[in-house]
Protein backbone atom coordinates (compact mmCIF):
# COMPACT_ATOMS: atom_id res chain seq x y z
CA UNK A 1 0.00 0.00 0.00
CA UNK A 2 1.11 3.55 -0.69
CA UNK A 3 1.68 5.61 2.42
CA UNK A 4 3.35 8.83 3.53
CA UNK A 5 4.34 9.33 7.16
CA UNK A 6 5.23 12.64 8.75
CA UNK A 7 6.00 11.98 12.40
CA UNK A 8 6.39 15.58 13.56
CA UNK A 9 3.00 17.23 14.12
CA UNK A 10 4.72 20.49 15.08
CA UNK A 11 8.20 21.95 14.97
CA UNK A 12 9.79 25.12 16.31
CA UNK A 13 12.85 26.78 14.78
CA UNK A 14 14.67 29.99 15.52
CA UNK A 15 14.74 32.56 12.76
CA UNK A 16 17.83 32.23 10.53
CA UNK A 17 18.48 28.65 11.59
CA UNK A 18 18.02 25.54 9.45
CA UNK A 19 15.28 23.01 10.09
CA UNK A 20 14.61 19.49 8.83
CA UNK A 21 11.08 18.18 8.36
CA UNK A 22 10.88 14.40 8.26
CA UNK A 23 9.04 12.31 5.71
CA UNK A 24 9.06 8.58 5.10
CA UNK A 25 7.13 6.80 2.40
CA UNK A 26 6.09 3.34 1.42
CA UNK A 27 5.51 2.10 -2.10
CA UNK A 28 6.20 -0.99 -4.13
CA UNK A 29 6.40 0.95 -7.37
CA UNK A 30 9.95 1.27 -8.71
CA UNK A 31 9.27 4.71 -10.16
CA UNK A 32 7.70 7.55 -8.24
CA UNK A 33 7.86 11.26 -7.58
CA UNK A 34 8.22 12.93 -4.21
CA UNK A 35 6.96 16.44 -3.50
CA UNK A 36 6.78 18.99 -0.72
CA UNK A 37 4.05 21.58 -0.42
CA UNK A 38 3.61 24.55 1.91
CA UNK A 39 0.23 25.64 3.21
CA UNK A 40 0.26 29.05 4.95
CA UNK A 41 -2.54 30.08 7.26
CA UNK A 42 -4.27 31.68 4.28
CA UNK A 43 -4.96 28.17 3.00
CA UNK A 44 -3.40 27.91 -0.42
CA UNK A 45 -1.15 24.97 -1.32
CA UNK A 46 2.22 26.01 -2.69
CA UNK A 47 4.51 23.58 -4.50
CA UNK A 48 8.07 23.76 -3.15
CA UNK A 49 10.26 20.99 -4.49
CA UNK A 50 10.26 17.72 -6.46
CA UNK A 51 12.47 14.63 -6.41
CA UNK A 52 12.21 11.76 -8.86
CA UNK A 53 12.95 8.27 -7.60
CA UNK A 54 15.67 7.80 -10.21
CA UNK A 55 17.32 11.16 -9.64
CA UNK A 56 20.89 10.68 -8.46
CA UNK A 57 21.24 14.07 -6.86
CA UNK A 58 19.16 15.64 -4.13
CA UNK A 59 16.81 18.35 -5.37
CA UNK A 60 17.36 21.96 -4.36
CA UNK A 61 15.22 25.05 -4.86
CA UNK A 62 16.59 28.18 -3.27
CA UNK A 63 16.49 27.71 0.51
CA UNK A 64 14.75 24.34 0.15
CA UNK A 65 16.55 21.06 -0.34
CA UNK A 66 15.29 17.53 -0.28
CA UNK A 67 17.41 14.94 1.52
CA UNK A 68 16.51 11.82 -0.45
CA UNK A 69 17.58 8.47 0.97
CA UNK A 70 16.05 5.86 -1.26
CA UNK A 71 17.12 2.80 0.68
CA UNK A 72 15.55 4.23 3.83
CA UNK A 73 12.53 5.50 1.89
CA UNK A 74 12.90 8.94 3.35
CA UNK A 75 12.53 12.35 1.73
CA UNK A 76 13.22 14.99 4.34
CA UNK A 77 12.82 18.67 3.60
CA UNK A 78 15.57 20.99 4.75
CA UNK A 79 14.83 24.69 5.00
CA UNK A 80 17.93 26.80 5.45
CA UNK A 81 18.03 30.26 7.03
CA UNK A 82 14.44 30.12 8.27
CA UNK A 83 12.31 33.22 7.90
CA UNK A 84 9.18 34.27 9.77
CA UNK A 85 7.25 33.75 6.55
CA UNK A 86 8.17 30.08 6.61
CA UNK A 87 5.70 29.51 9.44
CA UNK A 88 3.14 27.23 7.81
CA UNK A 89 1.95 23.67 7.41
CA UNK A 90 4.23 21.50 5.28
CA UNK A 91 3.06 18.41 3.44
CA UNK A 92 5.12 15.63 1.97
CA UNK A 93 3.54 13.87 -0.99
CA UNK A 94 4.22 10.97 -3.30
CA UNK A 95 2.96 9.94 -6.68
CA UNK A 96 3.75 6.46 -8.00
CA UNK A 97 4.31 6.45 -11.74
CA UNK A 98 2.09 3.51 -12.56
CA UNK A 99 -0.50 2.92 -15.19
CA UNK A 100 -3.29 2.39 -12.69
CA UNK A 101 -3.64 6.06 -12.03
CA UNK A 102 -1.42 8.91 -11.05
CA UNK A 103 -2.96 10.13 -7.86
CA UNK A 104 -0.73 11.97 -5.43
CA UNK A 105 -1.06 11.00 -1.80
CA UNK A 106 -0.19 13.30 1.08
CA UNK A 107 1.13 12.92 4.59
CA UNK A 108 -0.63 14.41 7.60
CA UNK A 109 1.64 17.43 7.58
CA UNK A 110 4.04 19.18 9.95
CA UNK A 111 3.25 22.61 11.33
CA UNK A 112 6.39 24.75 11.45
CA UNK A 113 6.66 27.72 13.78
CA UNK A 114 9.52 30.15 13.18
CA UNK A 115 10.46 32.20 16.26
CA UNK A 116 11.91 35.70 16.04
Chain residues binding another protein by CB under 8 A are: 33, 35, 37, 43-47, 50, 52, 91, 93, 95, 97, 100-109
CB 60 → another protein: shortest distance, Å? 15
How far apart CA 62 and CA 10 sit, in angstroms, is 23
Q: Taking the CA atoms of the chain, what radius of gyration do you get in angstroms?
A: 14
> E-assigned strands of 15-87?
19-21, 24-26, 32-39, 46-52, 60-61, 64-69, 74-79
Instruction: Output the smallest distance, CB 72 to another protein, in A.
Output: 23
Which residue number, 14 or 102, has a Cβ lying nearer to another protein?
102
CB of 59: closest distance to another protein in angstroms?
11
Amino acid sequence: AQKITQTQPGMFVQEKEAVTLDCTYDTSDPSYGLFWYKQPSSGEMIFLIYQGSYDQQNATEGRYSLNFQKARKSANLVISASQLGDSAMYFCAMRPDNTGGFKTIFGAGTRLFVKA
